[in-house]
Amino acid sequence: MEATQILKRPKLSEKMANIPEKNKGNKERYLFIVDIRANKIQIADAVAKMYGVKIDAVNTINYKGKAKSRYTKGKVVEGRTKAYKKAIVTVKQGEIIDFYAELPN
């Protein structure tokens, strides 16, 4: 798989912004939504290739889709949310990923 196929999107949240403060050694950590079939080595290679940083560690979390139901006027609508995989990528000390660098002005 290519780097663009493995990394679907970065997930920017307040919770992830506070993780480096708790992390020992002040290493930066970033969260990505990744392809569910990708392993840690593929994720590390994709992040290193796409953002030009050195990777220290990769932690992955698999989420299963949940059953959802909604009551409407006509009937009960049932479905599922999608299953997805998150990867927390720790980069080497002194390295950063700037997600906003490539945005047009």
Q: Virtual CA dihedral for 86, 104, 19, 97, nearest 10 degrees?
A: 80
In our burial notation (b when 16+ CB lie closer than 10 A, e otherwise), range 3-18 reads: eeebbeeeeeeeeeee
CATH architecture, range 3-91? 2-Layer Sandwich (3.30)
Average of per-residue pLDDT values in the chain: 87
Give the predicted TM-score (pTM) of the model: 0.81
Picking from 91, 79, 83, the residue whose alpha carbon sits closest to that of residue 35 is: 83
More confident residue, 102 or 44: 44
